[in-house]
Chains A and B, each alone.
Chain A
Amino acid sequence: MDMSLFSNLALGFGVALTPINLMYCLIGVLLGTLIGVLPGIGPVATIAMLLPITFSLSPITALIMLAGIYYGAQYGGSTSAILVNLPGESSSVVTCLDGYQMARQGRAGPALATAAIGSFFAGCVATVIVAMFAPPLAEVALKFGPSEYFSLMVLGLVAAVVLAHGSVVKAVAMVILGLLLGLVGTDVNSGVLRFAFGVAELADGIGFVTVAMGVFGTAEIITNLELKDKREVFTSKVTNLFPSKDDFKRIWKPILRGTALGSMLGILPGGGALLSSFGAYTLEKKISVNGHMFGKGAIEGVAAPEAANNAGAQTSFIPLLTLGIPSNAVMALMIGAMMIQGIAPGPQVMTEKPQLFWGMIASMWVGNLMLVVLNLPMIGLWIKLLTVPYRILYPSILVFMAIGVFSLSNNPFDVLQMMLFGLLGYVFVKLACEPAPLLLGFILGPLMEENLRRAMLLSRGDPWVFFQKPISAGFLIASILLLVILALPALRKKREEAFQEG
């Protein structure tokens, strides 16, 4: 087995390192980085638009480029999350929490470098995992049915509370509000339109990007503009570009843990990857000695989710390549791209088209290397951007946000939605309600309802299925334990406060 792994990888690198494939890999990751940095322009739209151009390329070259766009966008996405608090994708929401705070404290350099290094490391590890264990891991992915997903989502939601650093009750309420907002639109099970009030644009639900860019991006701009003194938003005192020795000491373990968690969750096609960055952040916050610093610019809070997110992005190729099952919209489009090229993604790709399979895996590693080599020198440039006076910076950010959101479906309604969520986000700021738990609830709400109802349908109404299946039961027990752990300090604090009041 080991010998064949080496020969397979040798075959793969032989394909990935040809000049033409190297060139298109580079084009892919560059383009990916660009659209990742630009808020709202996602890899799905870009890949679809570029598809006709790839017709003239060989299938493997085309796929290498398209995959490069995908993970390049992940790198780029963290850049705008850190610099201007704009999460373009669900995975970069958590990067905003500490990354943006670091940027405001003049530590954008170390934050960006940490994101790049963490992503690179995770990408390398995950590539090896894909190469070595793809088929057995695909079997694991199939073990996850509706009840397992539901229980996993429950665990994710309980963990969401940890995202907040303020009141637990308010955090739970924000999660629930997020869940409810996620239910707007057509109900998957019955086809009934819910909470749409005759607005056709709401039939497919509220878009994640409009909510995220509203409550993070727009609200942040409004909040910054009301600072009375003309103090700049970012400190002009930029310390250093790269993480210090002490920083490295703080991030290496979170990167390892994030990589492990992300690799595992990425395999699950039914929304596991969504949880990877949130999960990694939560885990670090609970076990780190600097847990109290999270949300105020803790470098661990950038390292862990970035590693998890990139690891998940790579391992989410496993269900695609081995089962033909896409785990997200980008993967679904990749399937289309492969089919047009005459390759049916599925179990036989690995045996019938080994050059393609192993070439793509090798190119992922090459692409990750390119990204880190490209991105580290770029950091100096990005930081220069923050020295631009805010009165110049914010209209520019707004223009890019507006263009990006408009391009989602070429409909002004999306821009209106972003604006409304900006107002709501501003109210949240004023009332000290944190938006991150809301967003996680928003992502997980529909998935959770869907899987709950599906599990009940399949079990013909027996709620015990959630405890009879070992994986599902494990998640539920973990959720209960986590709830207890969460509740204990809160209760204690409340008692102390009550005593002080009395």
Chain B
Amino acid sequence: MRKLLLSIVLLSAAQTALAQAWPARPIRLICPYPGGPVELSSRIVAQKLQEALGQPVVVENRPGAGGVIGADYVAKAAPDGYTLLMGAIATHAINPSLMPSLPYDAMRDFRHIALVVQVPNVLVVNNDLPVKSVKDLIALARTKPGQLDFGSGSTGSTGHLAGELFKQMTGTFMVHIPYRSSAPAVADMLAGRVHLMFDNLASALPNIKAGKVRALAVTTTRRTDFLPDLPTLDESGLKGFNLTTWWGLMAPAKTPNEIVNRLSAETLKAMDAPDARERLRNLGSATPGVRTPEAFSAFIEAEKTLYARLVKVSGAKPD
């Protein structure tokens, strides 16, 4: 018993020492989704953290398997604060239900540090579809069951699952058309080959503003600053409809508290800096309301539960 106590004391002393000296060398920020907004925002945050911590913060791309490879790499990395992850809704909320065997546990294997980007989806329809509101759309979908198509960037994406939730809540049936990424789906919607999409706000915005597609509602319970006149699905009768795409900073599970707290504070400070906030906003993200590591963990837990249900009703899970 004394031995155990002693080792605990020694361990925590060692951890404190480690945390005090931290960061003494470059920090690696693993990005599982290169070449898109996740990498871009990782680099925005990395640049700010580097200035604040006085050590290089290097973004290292580790793509593969829908983000699983990068997330798993960090889950198994040394918990010394030198390996961080830009974890996302896919790696931490959807994949646990979507993938049959995930090599990590989204809750237990990580410290969740700070939510960095949170983007709503927007329900957009092709201009020729004779609907002006969510109510019209529900009515149309009821008279034409199985004839409306909705596109999405991939099976199991928020765009897909938002559609499934919509179908479930309205009791309608529409056909899901999956694409490899959001861009070709948008092209087919512009051309009228698919009727609607629950597209990411950032990618939908230019075409909405140019009048090329019609936005019906936003998928969050609060209206978005980008389109203040656009009602929410919640207002339009789908009570409690609340979906966003998000990603944030995480670390391996045993990372010392001191480091997690320091990182959390520095990340929030970085995101609040006017230039960084402007850049993240340009990616469609309002400053997320989730502000502490504990709140972030609770948020992920809630998201996980939500998507477990959605994946089940959608039948998106591959057998």
Touching chains A and B, CB distance < 8 Å: yes
Most central of A51, A337, A344, A450 by chain B CB within 10 Å: A344
What residues of chain B lie closer than 8 Å to A326, measured between beta carbons? 183
Q: Which of B60, B194, B317 contacts A410 (CB 8 A)?
A: B60
Most central of B35, B44, B202, B207 by chain A CB within 10 Å: B35
**Docked pose: A325 CA to B184 CA in angstroms:** 7
8 A Cβ contacts from B43-82 to A = 43-44, 46-47, 59-66, 68-69, 72
Spot the interface stretch: B11-19, B172-180, B239-247, B254-262: B172-180
**Docked pose: A142 CA to B40 CA in angstroms:** 28
With contacts A324-B207, A348-B209, A458-B177 taken as known, whether A411 is within 8 angstroms of B69 at the C-beta atoms is yes
A354 close to chain B: CB less than 8 A: no
Asked whether B64 lies within 8 Å of A411 as measured between CB atoms, the reply is yes
Q: Which of A145, A204, A347 contacts B65 (CB 8 A)?
A: A204
Asked whether B64 lies within 8 Å of A269 as measured between CB atoms, the reply is no
| Minimum CB distance partner of B275 in chain A | A55
A395 close to chain B: CB less than 8 A: no
With contacts A44-B35, A193-B318, A411-B64 taken as known, whether A346 is within 8 angstroms of B210 at the C-beta atoms is yes
Q: Which of A145, A188, A332, A454 contacts B155 (CB 8 A)?
A: A188
A141 close to chain B: CB less than 8 A: yes
With contacts A188-B155, A333-B35 taken as known, whether A48 is within 8 angstroms of B183 at the C-beta atoms is no
| Minimum CB distance partner of A340 in chain B | B279
B125 close to chain A: CB less than 8 A: no
8 A Cβ contacts from B135-158 to A = 149, 154-156
What residues of chain B lie closer than 8 Å to A458, measured between beta carbons? 149, 177, 193-194
B186 close to chain A: CB less than 8 A: yes
Asked whether A341 lies within 8 Å of B282 as measured between CB atoms, the reply is yes
Closest-CB distance, A335 to chain B (whole angstroms): 8
What residues of chain B lie closer than 8 Å to A339, measured between beta carbons? 37, 202, 282-284
What residues of chain B lie closer than 8 Å to A191, measured between beta carbons? 98, 154-156, 316-318
Closest-CB distance, B145 to chain A (whole angstroms): 13
Asked whether A269 lies within 8 Å of B282 as measured between CB atoms, the reply is no
8 A Cβ contacts from B188-223 to A = 188, 190-191, 193-194, 202-203, 205-207, 209-210, 212
B24 close to chain A: CB less than 8 A: no
Asked whether A332 lies within 8 Å of B191 as measured between CB atoms, the reply is no
Closest-CB distance, A251 to chain B (whole angstroms): 35
**Docked pose: A145 CA to B187 CA in angstroms:** 8
B26 close to chain A: CB less than 8 A: no
Asked whether B212 lies within 8 Å of A347 as measured between CB atoms, the reply is yes
Residue interface bits A181-210, CB-to-B below 8 A is 1, else 0? 000001111111100000011011000000
**Docked pose: A188 CA to B35 CA in angstroms:** 19
8 A Cβ contacts from A95-110 to B = none
A270 close to chain B: CB less than 8 A: yes
Q: Which of A203, A325, A411 contacts B187 (CB 8 A)?
A: A325
Asked whether B63 lies within 8 Å of A204 as measured between CB atoms, the reply is yes
A323 close to chain B: CB less than 8 A: yes
Q: Which of A51, A203, A341, A346 contacts B207 (CB 8 A)?
A: A346
Closest-CB distance, B298 to chain A (whole angstroms): 28
B225 close to chain A: CB less than 8 A: no
B181 close to chain A: CB less than 8 A: yes
A146 close to chain B: CB less than 8 A: yes
Asked whether A342 lies within 8 Å of B278 as measured between CB atoms, the reply is yes
| Minimum CB distance partner of A56 in chain B | B275
Asked whether B187 lies within 8 Å of A329 as measured between CB atoms, the reply is no
Please tell me the size bucket of the interface on A. 35 or more
Q: Which of A48, A335, A347, A454 contacts B210 (CB 8 A)?
A: A347
A292 close to chain B: CB less than 8 A: no
B23 close to chain A: CB less than 8 A: no
A457 close to chain B: CB less than 8 A: yes
| Minimum CB distance partner of B212 in chain A | A347
Closest-CB distance, A173 to chain B (whole angstroms): 27
Q: Which of A142, A146, A188, A342 contacts B154 (CB 8 A)?
A: A188
Asked whether B179 lies within 8 Å of A201 as measured between CB atoms, the reply is no
**Docked pose: A348 CA to B178 CA in angstroms:** 28
With contacts A45-B34, A191-B155, A200-B103 taken as known, whether A340 is within 8 angstroms of B180 at the C-beta atoms is no
**Docked pose: A48 CA to B202 CA in angstroms:** 18
What residues of chain B lie closer than 8 Å to A55, measured between beta carbons? 47, 275, 279
**Docked pose: A189 CA to B160 CA in angstroms:** 12
Asked whether A411 lies within 8 Å of B154 as measured between CB atoms, the reply is no
What residues of chain B lie closer than 8 Å to A411, measured between beta carbons? 62, 64, 69
B39 close to chain A: CB less than 8 A: yes
| Minimum CB distance partner of A199 in chain B | B65
Which A positions have Cβ atoms within 8 angstroms of B?
44-45, 48-49, 51-52, 55, 141-143, 145-146, 186-193, 200-201, 203-204, 269-270, 319, 323-326, 329, 332-333, 335-337, 339-342, 344-349, 409-411, 446, 450, 454, 457-458
Given A204-B64, A341-B282, 6 other A-B residues pairs in contact with their CB atoms under 8 A? A48-B39, A200-B65, A323-B212, A325-B184, A333-B40, A339-B37
- Could you list 12 examples of A-B contacts with CB < 8 Å? A45-B61, A52-B47, A186-B65, A191-B154, A201-B65, A204-B64, A324-B203, A324-B206, A325-B183, A335-B203, A339-B283, A346-B212
